[in-house]
A and B are shown apart, each in its own frame.
Chain A
Amino acid sequence: DVKVTQSSRYLVKRTGEKVFLECVQDMDHENMFWYRQDPGLGLRLIYFSYDVKMKEKGDIPEGYSVSREKKERFSLILESASTNQTSMYLCASSLASGTAGELFFGEGSRLTVL
């Protein structure tokens, strides 16, 4: 079974702090994604990566950056956390670069910024 592991299930941070969210997948997937989920807004794509050291902006990249130094690991970084970044963050991975590939999600990281 594919496993996508997010390092922290729950985090509480203060405004202005730097936040790292780590994600590791164990199935040698090329593609990795970071989404945030907010009530009434669904899942919105922040960044994705289709290869090591490659990254592409999603729909809401402002205030975030990412790092993919190894194929299995994709990190989301909030350089200076703000209260409007309080959300559920979901990491996902997929094998196929084209279509017919399923997204596998981690358990999610609930971030609260005070």
Chain B
Amino acid sequence: DQQVKQNSPSLSVQEGRISILNCDYTNSMFDYFLWYKKYPAEGPTFLISISSIKDKNEDGRFTVFLNKSAKHLSLHIVPSQPGDSAVYFCAASGFVQFYFGTGTSLTVIP
């Protein structure tokens, strides 16, 4: 059973606007969450992470929000740029293992 879910397979956003990618998880033992970006034919690259003791973490244009009571996290990209077009995976970890969602394909339209 999928412990980390990304219910939107795709998202299109105009350049300069905000992109919001969502992720839900089921296991309350997860205490570390990450977002990865992946271009075709390349490995995923780390974007941003958040510990369960925080509810927000910011890095430049990228902000991750965590709502533990709802078991929900989101990634905000502001402003969105065409180079942000990629597949985004959220991941959760409780010990050694990392569990990934199915990904959201973001297209930023110039």
Contacts and interface: CB of A to CB of B under 8 A. Distances in A.
Interface of A: 4, 9, 31, 33, 35, 40-45, 48, 50, 56, 58, 90, 92, 94, 97-108, 110
A100 B51 contact: yes
Nearest to B100: A43
A99 B51 contact: yes
Contacts of B46: 102-104
Interface of B: 6, 9, 31-32, 34, 36, 41-46, 49, 51, 89, 91, 93-103
A90 B44 contact: yes
18 contacts: A40-B102, A41-B102, A42-B89, A42-B103, A43-B91, A45-B97, A45-B98, A48-B96, A58-B97, A94-B98, A99-B51, A99-B94, A100-B51, A103-B34, A103-B46, A103-B98, A105-B36, A106-B43
B102 A100 contact: no
B4 to A, nearest CB: 8
Contacts of B103: 42
Nearest to A104: B46
B96 A40 contact: no
Contacts of A45: 97-99
B35 to A, nearest CB: 11
Contacts of A44: 100
Contacts of A48: 96-97
What 10 A-B pairs have minimum CB-CB distances, sorted nearest first?
Answer: A105-B43, A42-B102, A43-B100, A99-B32, A107-B43, A108-B43, A105-B44, A42-B100, A106-B43, A99-B31
